[in-house]
Structure 1
Amino acid sequence: MKKKLLLSALCAFATMTMNAGGFLTNTNHGAHFLRFPAMEGVITVEGALYNPAGIGFLTPGWHIAVNNQTALQTRTIQSFYEPFRYGAGNNGMSLKKFEGKSTAPIIPSFDIAYVKDRWFGSFHFGVIGGGGKCEFDNGLGSFESVVSMLPGVVNALAPMDIVSGYSAESFMRGKQYYFGGQIGLGYKVDDHLSVSLGGRLIYASCNYYGYVRNISLTTAVDMPTAAGTIPAGTTVPAANLFNAVGMNSMAALVGDVNVNCDQSGWGFSPIIGVNYNNGRWNVGLRYEAKARLRLKNRSSTEASSMMSNLEEFQDGKKVAGDMPAFFGIGAQYKATDKFRVGLGYHYYFDDNAHQHNHKQDKLDANTWELLGGLEYDLTDRLTASVGGQMTNYGLGKKKDYISDMSFTTSSYSLGAGVKVKLSEKVDLNVSYFKTFYYSTRKNQEDYNGVGAMYNGIVQRVAASGALTPEQIDKVNTTFQNVDFSGNDLFDRTNDVIGVGVNIKF
């Protein structure tokens, strides 16, 4: 059980929150939304998602919309942890920046609606959550913080300080796609009121891959060994150094570790909608019940089968990852025949969406959003619009819900675009949407639980009889004087370009 314990624990702390709650419910499903976010009150074929009851007020016949979005995102974490200063390439600094880039060139969506007399039906397909991959080429602070403690541990176990620094190669990549197919059937009660009933089938497909390898330590003094003297300033594999100084029991803890886990699962969410229209005003509302998701692992992670603290990634295990219930309401007002104003409100019932190890309990409040838009017909064939969205997450003061591997922060977004009437039956939408995230800091008294983890490791090694009483006393004294506190400053950027074509016939 000792084999690779250190790095197995590292991977557990770094990846335990990647999946459960890692998805972000996507509100943007097309170019029309990007230029006019308050879609719950709009009568359009994209109402197949946003306002399914509003489909009843479209002209009789078929309506189709095909959209694609291209999203570019960065995720930046500035991590402060005192032992980082021993890292090769960290220039003696305890503050280090970790940056991940996410690119999704193709995020498609498709809407179709049919209206006949008072009956109508609709279908929507899109990426309801996730929608791309994010790579951290240099790993994360939660990875490096565990490795950064090695010099202190080695020096605590040795008769003198023999290590001056560390180095390692680390990488993390996560991919999440939550595909949703939504169908609705509705009835227009009278000239002002329509209702709909439907549901969304969700298929989740995720992959998480990461590694920490080639862990090395730099000698602080000349070290005589059976094979010869290792000069001061030499970088050698950590396991070799442990063996060279007679710490064979510790050498087994620093082997390379790879995490590679695919997750997939199905869920279903019933949906109801209501729409009211009196000519000038149109008001729509939509309620989506919680979608219960249990994602099954297909994992080749060796440590998963060995360590209980990687149980979330055990092969064959099912992991809870519900998508929360949702309520949305929106209104559009025709100020003139050419000028329209829209407002909307979203509420996500996050506290009732079950996640792995009840992670949802770490939230202080549920998520809510405010949306708005202005639209003006410049000519009979050209319409311009601008809009915005404000999102507030109930992360609370401690921010325990987020980690460097899975985080989002409150934000506001601005969008703009145009609709071009190519013909009486074909419209083209082109738009741009940018999100501005609020920087969020998370302080931890025991950064990523590294202090508690190392104490546990040393005590287990001591219990095996591999350490002398003098070594145990020295380690305990050293740990009492170490400041394990640290913090992360989270930030993101997000830019989306959308193009869509609407056809009616």
Structure 2
Amino acid sequence: MRKISLISIAMLIVSISTFAGGLLTNTNQHPAFLRMLSRGANTTSVDAALSNPAGLAFLPKDGFYTSLSIQSAFQTRNIDASCEALGLDKYYEGKASAPVIPSVFAAYKKGDWTISGFFGITGGGGKASFDDGLSMFDAMVIGGLLQQGIPGKAYTLNSYMDGKQYIYSVQLGLTYKITDWLSAFAGGRMNYFTGGYKGALNASAAVDLPLPTGGAIPVGTELIGIDLDCSQTGWGFTPVIGLDAKFGKLTIGAKYEFKANLNIENNTKINSLRMIGAPESELEDYKHGVNTPNDIPAMLSVAAAYEFLPVLRASVEYHFYDDKNAGMAGGKQKFLTKGTNEYLAGIEWDVIKRLTLSGGVQFTDYGLSDDYQSDTSFSCDSYSLGVGAKLQLSERADLNVGYMWTNYEDYTKTGQNYQGTNLPGTNVYSRTNKVFGLSIDYRF
């Protein structure tokens, strides 16, 4: 039964990102991003407070700019599990949703100075539910009981897991216009992590199980039981700097976000591991007060935008997330082969004076490996497409509408030690993601 204690790692961290961006970072905070995807050289709208804060020096007029954005994201995380020796051939469906994701942008420009702020959910952003548990639960239990001579048909197994994860962030900073063509930004972002994990597993005898010493374990007896209710919180600070340069119709924007050291602490209400013939114990990783690293990685953004015509603009952009140097639970970052690379491009067309149509594409390349991927935290390389529009409601108000759809490349993990059972098996990880958003931008 010793191997069953390995279930203690099963709910260690559920990566629940319902956004674009790196492994732990959300970049789509505004529908203008959804509809164009490349906003790192934007200097004309208030969403630049996040995407290109140095560019706020080139806002068209002095005054106060603000934006309220609401997004809805829906994602699936599925696992096609197969281990013939255990009789395991099952498709596990996980759903993550965030129906209301708010963000607020603000900037005040006066001469060469601009002060700006941003509030949003920069990491996580939803709740993931696996109503039928996970293959790592089932494989460990089936394998452990099989070692005790208890076949799969002799017991019933039920499990579920829910996880939620949010990083709320508030950013403040100052932009200064150094020359007519160059500006700089310096600021910081305070990040507050809150998350929670609830799960249960129960394996009970389906028939009377004979004991080697005589007698039997009665039908209905709990063979293994796990109950967990653990919430986690933590704080971290991200310094941010940026530059923006204009060369005629060409704009170049750059931003660097430093790593935020963030530890999350357990607040555990229920933590129970029960095995027949053994005293009740706790899962080590979820004991009350235990701290787990969950750093937000450093991020570099470089973008270039060009105005081909007064009504036609295009941009390209590059993001790098230094995930390998950001602490993760269990030191998982060591198993990444590299940091995350993203390549983005977008285009805008002013169809008429009050209507702008736009589209964009983003390619995301993670440094994934079999040792990094697990049932509770897996990623897949992807490309995203974004479309949408901006409608000028008045001289001071704009409405942005955007939709982003992400296509993920399935990741197949095959090994000879499936879920720690020393048996061959395969998991195929797959995901889907759809995000819709709208905002009202207003200039006072």
Task: State whether TM-score is above 0.5.
Answer: yes
Identical-residue share of aligned pairs (%): 38
Describe the SS at the equivalent of 1:101.
strand
Matched, 1:9 2:10: no
1:414 corresponding residue in structure 2:
385
Unpaired runs of at least 5, structure 2: none
Describe the SS at the equivalent of 1:364.
coil
Describe the SS at the equivalent of 1:323.
coil
2:261 corresponding residue in structure 1:
292
Figure out how many residues of one structure are paired with residues of the other and give that number.
432
| Residues in 2 aligned to 1:62 and 1:267: alpha-carbon distance in whole angstroms | 29
Task: Render the CA deviation track for 1:303-343: whole Å, top value 9, x for unaligned.
Answer: 48999994321110111110100000111100000000011
Contact conserved, 1:23 with 1:176, CA < 8 A, in 2?
no
Matches within 5 A, 1:419-438: 419-438=390-409
| Residues in 1 aligned to 2:222 and 2:207: alpha-carbon distance in whole angstroms | 16
1:69 corresponding residue in structure 2:
71
Q: 1:193 to 1:9 in 2, by over 3 A?
A: same
2:32 corresponding residue in structure 1:
32
Q: 1:350 to 1:137 in 2, by over 3 A?
A: same
Contact conserved, 1:6 with 1:253, CA < 8 A, in 2?
no
User: Alpha-carbon deviation of 1:278?
Assistant: 2.6
User: Alpha-carbon deviation of 1:408?
Assistant: 1.2
Describe the SS at the equivalent of 1:395.
coil
Matched, 1:189 2:189: no
| Residues in 2 aligned to 1:100 and 1:172: alpha-carbon distance in whole angstroms | 9
Q: 1:246 to 1:422 in 2, by over 3 A?
A: same
2:224 corresponding residue in structure 1:
255
Contact conserved, 2:94 with 2:129, CA < 8 A, in 1?
yes
| Residues in 2 aligned to 1:242 and 1:33: alpha-carbon distance in whole angstroms | 63
| Residues in 1 aligned to 2:189 and 2:443: alpha-carbon distance in whole angstroms | 24
Q: 1:20 to 1:318 in 2, by over 3 A?
A: farther
Q: Normalized per residue, which structure has more strand?
A: 2
Task: Render the CA deviation track for 1:110-142: whole Å, top value 9, x for unaligned.
Answer: 100010010111001110000000100000000
| Residues in 2 aligned to 1:378 and 1:98: alpha-carbon distance in whole angstroms | 46
1:269 corresponding residue in structure 2:
238
User: Alpha-carbon deviation of 1:253?
Assistant: 8.6
Q: 1:299 to 1:23 in 2, by over 3 A?
A: farther
Q: 1:489 to 1:19 in 2, by over 3 A?
A: closer
Q: 1:149 to 1:253 in 2, by over 3 A?
A: farther
1:500 corresponding residue in structure 2:
439
Matched, 1:390 2:363: yes
| Residues in 1 aligned to 2:49 and 2:260: alpha-carbon distance in whole angstroms | 18
Describe the SS at the equivalent of 1:40.
coil
Contact conserved, 2:26 with 2:121, CA < 8 A, in 1?
yes
| Residues in 2 aligned to 1:65 and 1:245: alpha-carbon distance in whole angstroms | 73
User: Alpha-carbon deviation of 1:280?
Assistant: 0.5
| Residues in 1 aligned to 2:417 and 2:148: alpha-carbon distance in whole angstroms | 20
Structure of larger gyration radius: 1
Q: 1:165 to 1:84 in 2, by over 3 A?
A: farther
2:429 corresponding residue in structure 1:
490
User: Alpha-carbon deviation of 1:243?
Assistant: 9.2
User: Alpha-carbon deviation of 1:16?
Assistant: 3.0
| Residues in 2 aligned to 1:243 and 1:177: alpha-carbon distance in whole angstroms | 50
User: Alpha-carbon deviation of 1:236?
Assistant: 3.1
2:168 corresponding residue in structure 1:
179
User: Alpha-carbon deviation of 1:447?
Assistant: 1.1
Q: 1:436 to 1:308 in 2, by over 3 A?
A: farther
| Residues in 1 aligned to 2:171 and 2:97: alpha-carbon distance in whole angstroms | 26
From 326, 335, 345, the equivalent of 2:308 is 335
TM-score, normalised by the number of residues in structure 1: 0.81
2:62 corresponding residue in structure 1:
60
Deviates more, 1:163-172 or 1:268-277: 163-172
User: Alpha-carbon deviation of 1:357?
Assistant: 2.7
Matches within 5 A, 1:315-354: 315-354=288-327
Which one-letter code corresponds to 2:192 in the other structure?
Answer: Y
Which one-letter code corresponds to 1:28 in the other structure?
Answer: N
| Residues in 2 aligned to 1:194 and 1:440: alpha-carbon distance in whole angstroms | 43
2:105 corresponding residue in structure 1:
111
Q: CA RMSD in A?
A: 2.5
| Residues in 1 aligned to 2:233 and 2:201: alpha-carbon distance in whole angstroms | 25
| Residues in 1 aligned to 2:165 and 2:125: alpha-carbon distance in whole angstroms | 6
User: Alpha-carbon deviation of 1:149?
Assistant: 2.4
TM-score, normalised by the number of residues in structure 2: 0.91
2:351 corresponding residue in structure 1:
378
Which one-letter code corresponds to 1:340 in the other structure?
Answer: R
Contact conserved, 1:294 with 1:320, CA < 8 A, in 2?
yes
Matched, 1:96 2:90: yes
Contact conserved, 1:383 with 1:420, CA < 8 A, in 2?
yes
Unpaired runs of at least 5, structure 1: 86-93, 157-161, 218-234, 452-483
| Residues in 2 aligned to 1:335 and 1:307: alpha-carbon distance in whole angstroms | 70
Which one-letter code corresponds to 2:179 in the other structure?
Answer: D
Q: 1:6 to 1:67 in 2, by over 3 A?
A: same
User: Alpha-carbon deviation of 1:64?
Assistant: 0.4
From 250, 256, 264, the equivalent of 1:281 is 250
Describe the SS at the equivalent of 2:332.
helix
| Residues in 1 aligned to 2:334 and 2:29: alpha-carbon distance in whole angstroms | 29
User: Alpha-carbon deviation of 1:68?
Assistant: 0.7
| Residues in 1 aligned to 2:280 and 2:39: alpha-carbon distance in whole angstroms | 48
